[in-house]
């Protein structure tokens, strides 16, 4: 299979002229997975389909330099009846980005590839009434490239810098899909940094946010629950999504282990505000560390965001079905046992009509898919609803609609290689077992990982060379009157003897010549005490 021309074209147009990279895009087959939002006790999970996308970028082999992976990003896409969610699962650099010879002062290759790939996956899915891009920013030495922290060229951003970086990068995507009059389109970004108040959180917003009207800001310090959940009257347990390797998902699990009553309420945390406040005391968000939770909301065809519950009449119908089924399904375990007895597990048609996925293998740790015995996003008609003809019909209709929607969305963005869940897990495991500490080891690991992908898929070609063709000019200093220098007096010391003064007088030095205002440091030797009197 050839790489998507659309992705290749987009990367060529976005990358600076003469920048050479090689791109490796692969995706997984669509599979049934756990719902993002927990169902009510005794209720059924929302039918959810997921596929994974992985893009790796390398510096091509040239002259005496071997090919080395320099950056990779993984994005999971969840599709339900009313919502499409893109979740940025992982992103990491190997410390060899300098091998991609881009001119200084121009946008970085990493940020350009990231925003381009996100928008590439987002675009075909904007035909839905609600699309969400979600991620959490947590600073860590290495995510995808073991040993890469030992490379001197790897610059690990601290927690604050990382949150700001993601806000700037995704703001570019947000601005591409801003409000338009015909057709209407509403988009906004929402950031929560546990432990930071609104003023502190605004400091993470991108510079462009300062130009937005205060009456309709693009960036908000809030969790947009009414835009993500169909019934906001439920307990907090059912209003926060659970993503893989997600700090808040681990907190949700811990709270579930403590206590959950028959209405889904926890013993300790009663409201969403309390949940986010308690998040700031979690290990991932405490001890001087910050974690940023970010949501970009896209609402095509809407001048203002409409609450999710009002977007589709099937939502109300599905909620009614769930309520009717509570009596016959006292616990999720019982409903799964009944489903097993009916023998209707994991028979989900492929998006391209290529048959059925049967007996799914255990998925990769980087994927949200769980062991087959824990999958609860099965066809609703197979989960204790056989005694209710209307409920069964509604569930089948919902599932068919999800599969049709997913097929339309995913057909335009398939990877150059498409793997099943077992193959995807194997390939990700191989990457996480490689060694990228040093150029020779990184080159060998790169070669081995590419070879493994070809072996697993029985393909002969993987990867496409891309040469940027975007003409960008080097940023120049604007012509303006020089700012008046600021005298900074530092390290005041006692006056020395006159014969030593000349040795300590130093010409004023400019500190940080790239800053907007020049700062002059005056030697302490020329500081004079003010005469008395």
Beta bridge partners of 90: 74
Q: Residues, the chain, total? A: 533
Q: Cα dihedral angle (421, 424, 426, 427), rounded to 10 degrees?
A: 180
* DSSP state at residue 150: G
DSSP string, 342-365: HT--S-EE-TTS--EE-SPPPPPT
Q: Cα dihedral angle (171, 173, 174, 177), rounded to 10 degrees?
A: 150
Q: Which of 92, 159, 171, 246 is catalytic?
A: 246
3-state secondary structure of 334: helix
The C-alpha angle 264, 373, 334, rounded to 5 degrees, equals 50
Active site residue 262: no
Q: How many CA atoms lie within 13 A of 135 on its CB side?
A: 23
Measured in degrees and rounded to the nearest 5, phi and psi for residue 328 equal: -85, -5
**421-432 helix and 439-457 helix, angle to the nearest 10 degrees:** 170
Beta bridge partners of 25: 55
Residue that is written with structure tokens 């300062």 in the block: 210
Q: Give strand ranges (E) for 193-329.
A: 219-220, 292-300
Return the active site residues.
246
């Amino acid at each position: 299979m050839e790489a998507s021309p659309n992705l290749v074209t987009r990367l060529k147009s976005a990358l600076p002229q003469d920048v050479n990279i090689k791109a490796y895009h692969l995706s997984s087959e669509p599979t049934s997975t756990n719902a993002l939002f927990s169902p009510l006790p005794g209720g059924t999970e929302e039918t959810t389909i997921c596929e994974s996308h992985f893009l790796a970028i390398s510096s091509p082999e040239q002259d005496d330099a071997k090919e080395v992976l320099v950056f990779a990003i993984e994005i999971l896409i969840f599709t339900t009846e009313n919502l499409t969610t893109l979740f940025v699962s992982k992103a990491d650099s190997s410390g060899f980005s300098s091998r991609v010879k881009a001119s200084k002062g121009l946008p970085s290759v990493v940020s350009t590839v990231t925003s381009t790939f996100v928008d590439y996956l987002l675009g075909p899915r904007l035909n839905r009434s609600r699309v969400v891009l979600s991620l959490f920013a947590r600073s860590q030495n290495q995510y995808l490239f073991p040993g890469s922290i030992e490379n001197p060229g790897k610059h690990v951003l601290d927690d604050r810098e990382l949150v700001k970086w993601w806000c700037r990068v995704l703001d570019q995507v947000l601005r591409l899909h801003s409000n338009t009059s015909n057709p209407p389109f509403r988009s906004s970004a929402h950031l929560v940094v546990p432990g930071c108040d609104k003023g502190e959180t605004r400091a993470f917003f991108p510079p462009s946010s300062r130009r937005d009207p205060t009456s309709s800001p693009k960036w908000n310090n809030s969790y947009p629950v009414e835009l993500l959940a169909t019934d906001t009257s439920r307990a907090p347990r059912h209003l926060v999504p659970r993503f893989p390797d997600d700090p808040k998902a681990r907190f949700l699990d811990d709270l579930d282990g403590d206590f959950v009553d028959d209405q889904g309420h926890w013993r300790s945390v009663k409201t969403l505000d309390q949940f986010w406040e308690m998040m700031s005391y979690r290990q991932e968000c405490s001890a001087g560390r910050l974690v940023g939770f970010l949501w970009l909301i896209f609402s095509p065809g809407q001048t203002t965001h409409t609450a999710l519950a009002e977007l589709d009449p099937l939502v109300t119908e599905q909620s009614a079905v769930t309520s009717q089924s509570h009596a016959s399904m006292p616990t999720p375990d019982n409903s799964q046992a009944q489903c097993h007895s009916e023998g209707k597990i994991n028979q989900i048609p492929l998006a391209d009509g290529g048959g059925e996925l049967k007996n799914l293998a255990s998925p990769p740790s980087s994927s949200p898919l769980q062991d087959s015995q824990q999958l609860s996003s099965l066809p609703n008609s197979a989960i204790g609803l056989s005694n209710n003809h209307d409920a069964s019909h509604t569930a089948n209709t919902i599932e068919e609609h999800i599969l049709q929607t997913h097929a339309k969305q995913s057909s335009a963005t398939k990877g150059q290689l498409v793997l099943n869940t077992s193959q995807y897990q194997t390939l990700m495991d191989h990457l996480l077992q490689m060694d990228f500490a040093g150029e020779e080891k990184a080159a060998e690991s790169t070669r081995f990982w590419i070879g493994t992908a070809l072996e697993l898929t029985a393909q002969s070609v993987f990867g496409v060379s891309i040469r940027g063709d975007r003409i960008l000019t080097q940023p120049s200093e604007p012509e303006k009157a020089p700012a008046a220098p600021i005298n900074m007096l530092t390290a005041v010391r006692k006056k020395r003897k006159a014969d030593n003064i000349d040795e300590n007088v130093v010409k004023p030095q400019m500190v940080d010549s790239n800053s907007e205002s020049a700062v002059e440091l005056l030697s302490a030797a020329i500081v004079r005490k003010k005469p008395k009197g």
